[in-house]
Amino acid sequence: MLLAPVIWALAIVIAYLFAAKTWWFPPPITQHGHLYDAQFMRTLVVVGIIFFLAQAALGYVIVRFRNNGGRAGYSHGNNKLETLWTTATGVLFLGLVIMGTKIWAGVHFDEAPPDAIPVEVLSRQFAWNFRYPGPDGKFGHTDLKLVNDAAGNPFGIDPNDLAGKDDIVSASLKVPVDRDIKLILHSRDVIHSFFVRELRLKQDLVPGMEIPLHFRAERTGIFEVPCSELCGLGHYQMRTTMQVMTQSQFDHWKEQQAQQ
């Protein structure tokens, strides 16, 4: 008999923690983030109601069919009811997936606008590097044989290619606010994962692949970029920051970098 109130109490506490947003994400900083959160809330409300009803019913069944000394009876179940709730679950899940597909595809399938600022992202055990084309707007040629972390050339930029002379390499991501950013994700060794909570984006970086990812931040600030794929012993320290700055701060930063 005690089990039923324990289950009800647990269900109420869990529902409260979600409803009161006790442990919640940091607020989103992109349009995509707002859409994502809205879809997340829709899903949470739907499954939350079902969870709550199911736990209430579970407690009721425990009380109703407890051992009170009688003989146990055999029940074959109810095929009609089972068909009904399986179909309802299927429709619900498919509906949520169809509603969310557009939001997901808006980032992963749709191309970045043509005026988006390109940034090459290189992940390696266990660090991040970011490369910007200099004033010429072109990335220089790279060669694996020229990769030299100790000499500050993690990308292997070819010194003989003029287009690469003004490329900017940074250990943290800097982007201007209210501008489309197109990341081009590379990995040099194993699978890593680019993740910024406030962007509501997570994308694996796969060796041998170039994976584009675009976003547009609408608020300045400094946000953590942890690697979110267990990528080896030093995984825990593979983190950097993304700084969203005003356009003039960004231009100033690029100028400073170009002089070095």
Determine which helix (DSSP H) or strand (DSSP E) holds 248, and give its type and residue range: helix 247-259
227 scored as a contact of Cu ion (CB under 5 A) = yes
Q: Which is nearer to Cu ion, 119 or 238 (CB)?
A: 238
Cβ of residue 126: shortest distance to Cu ion, in angstroms? 6
Segment 233-252, which members bind Cu ion (CB under 5 A)? 238
Q: Binding residues for Cu ion, how many (CB under 5 A)? A: 4
Cβ of residue 221: shortest distance to Cu ion, in angstroms? 23
Residue 151's CB is within 10 A of a number of other CB atoms, namely: 8
**Cβ 81 vs Cβ 22: under 8 Å:** no
Q: Which is nearer to Cu ion, 165 or 239 (CB)?
A: 239
Which residue, among 198, 197, 228, 27, has the nearest Cα to 128 in the 3D structure?
Answer: 228
Q: How many residues does the chain have?
A: 260
Cβ of residue 187: shortest distance to Cu ion, in angstroms? 8
Cα–Cα distances in Å, from 69 out to 4, 5, 20, 60, 145? 19, 21, 43, 18, 80
Cβ of residue 149: shortest distance to Cu ion, in angstroms? 15
Cβ of residue 239: shortest distance to Cu ion, in angstroms? 9
SS3 assignment, position 42: helix
Q: Which is nearer to Cu ion, 45 or 171 (CB)?
A: 171
127 scored as a contact of Cu ion (CB under 5 A) = no
239-245/221-226 β-pairing: antiparallel
**Cβ 258 vs Cβ 166: under 8 Å:** yes
Segment 3-42, which members bind Cu ion (CB under 5 A)? none
Terminal CA-CA length for the chain: 74
Q: Which is nearer to Cu ion, 122 or 231 (CB)?
A: 231
**Cβ 169 vs Cβ 147: under 8 Å:** no
157 scored as a contact of Cu ion (CB under 5 A) = no
Each residue 185-224 as x (binds Cu ion by CB under 5 A) or -, in order, gives -------x--------------------------------
Q: Read off the tokens for 109.
A: 């399938």
Q: Which is nearer to Cu ion, 29 or 227 (CB)?
A: 227
User: What is the residue type of 44?
Assistant: L
Cβ of residue 142: shortest distance to Cu ion, in angstroms? 21
Cβ of residue 205: shortest distance to Cu ion, in angstroms? 8
Q: Read off the tokens for 229.
A: 């794929």
Chain contacts with Cu ion (rule: CB under 5 A): 192, 227, 231, 238
